[in-house]
Amino acid sequence: MTASAPVLSLRGVRKVYPSSPAPVVAVDGVDLQVDAGEIVAVLGPNGAGKTTTLDMVLGLVLPTAGTVEVLGGSPEMAARGGRVSAVLQSGGLLRDLTVGETVLAVAALHRARSRVEAVMERAGIADLARRKVRSCSGGEQQRLRFALALLPDPQVLVLDEPTAGMDVGARRSFWETMHEETRDGRTVLFATHYLEEAQAFAPRTVLVDHGRILADGPTAQLRGIVGDRTVLATVPGAADGVLTRLRAVPGVREVHRAGDRVTVNGTSSDDVARLLLTELGGRDLEIAAPTLESAFLALTGEGQAR
């Protein structure tokens, strides 16, 4: 593969599902290029079109319009050949097989039986080989899916909300394992609705909602967009004068008041907090970290935000 050819290429991709009373537009004109070795997060709320987009990259779903190319060919051919593989969001396992049988069955189909032991070791399920899939925890099942995805030694790894349903500990250890896997230059595309996961793991983030790409760039830049913190405080007898002074603080984007409770959005949370506590007589101060919601707020404008 030459450096100039993108590993993934989506051009004008749309997916419309027939439905009554009106058809559902799951993906509404997505353009996306991913180069070899990139790690890209697809970040968005539930129903944003993340899974449908990834399914089209895997050849599981055909686009209604537009083209999808994986490694210079059709997604289906890349998936069959094991050059692209995936950790699917849910299901994808037979509950009455053991973990070892599941890995062996898929390995046999890929003609990759020599990789079984190494892959189970890497995914951390070597000691679960004899356990029935139905007796595995959500985290263990996810590790099994991860092992299945590693079997064909793929160039591109697609992960659809890989840590959904995991507790914090399992989530952390999953991403630690993933870090190991990306050292040898695999291209990774993963969907998530956790802003922290995109920040911790992906140098590039694609923000999607309503089937459209809202932003696509370095994750650090995204952090700048969503850098807004929210400062809340109770200011007894707060009047318009208080709001005016808060608005005057550089970096403040919005100020609201509901009774005595004042809400300030902006990047300068330290200055706002100092002003509130020392000069304006505020108390019960809270500072909230940026959230995915505030990112969408910043990108779509308050009027359209959900």
Partner 1 sequence: MNVTYLRIDLVRQLRDGMYISFVIALPVVMYLLFGTAFGASADVVGRGDTRFYVMSAMAAYGASVGATSIAASAAMELLQGWGRQLALTPLRPPAFVATKVVVALAVSAVGALAVTVVGAATGAHVSALWVWIVTFLVAWLGSSLFALYGLVVAQVFRSETAIGVASASLVVWAFFGNLFVPLSGTVQQIARWTPMYGYAGLVRWSQMQGHSVTSSQVDPLWLLVLNWVAWAAAFAVLATWANRRGRARQ
Contact residues for partner 1 (CB under 8 A)?
A: 51-52, 55, 58-61, 79-82, 85-86, 88, 90-97, 101, 104-106, 108-111, 113, 148
Q: How far is the CB of 148 from partner 1 (least distance, A)?
A: 7
For residue 41, give every residue at least 6 positions away whose Cβ sits within 8 Å of its Cβ, in sequence order, or none: 190, 191, 192, 197, 198, 201, 202, 204, 205, 206, 219
Among 159, 227, 173, CA closest to 195: 227
For residue 136, give every residue at least 6 positions away whose Cβ sits within 8 Å of its Cβ, in sequence order, or none: 99, 128, 144
Q: Is the CB of 94 or the CB of 277 nearer to partner 1?
A: 94
**What CA–CA distance (Å, rounded) separates 266 from 245?**
14
Q: How far is the CB of 101 from partner 1 (least distance, A)?
A: 5
Q: Is the CB of 161 or the CB of 216 nearer to partner 1?
A: 161
Using an 8 Å Cβ cutoff, are 55 and 87 in contact?
Answer: no
**What CA–CA distance (Å, rounded) separates 268 from 227?**
9
Q: How far is the CB of 49 from partner 1 (least distance, A)?
A: 13
**What CA–CA distance (Å, rounded) separates 36 from 11?**
18
Q: Is the CB of 91 or the CB of 241 nearer to partner 1?
A: 91
Q: How far is the CB of 110 from partner 1 (least distance, A)?
A: 6
Q: How far is the CB of 91 from partner 1 (least distance, A)?
A: 2
**What CA–CA distance (Å, rounded) separates 13 from 179?**
30
Q: Is the CB of 97 or the CB of 118 nearer to partner 1?
A: 97
Q: Cα angle vertex 222, ends 173, 11, to 5°?
A: 95
Q: How far is the CB of 74 from partner 1 (least distance, A)?
A: 13
Q: Is the CB of 95 or the CB of 256 nearer to partner 1?
A: 95
**What CA–CA distance (Å, rounded) separates 268 from 136?**
47
Q: Is the CB of 48 or the CB of 214 nearer to partner 1?
A: 48
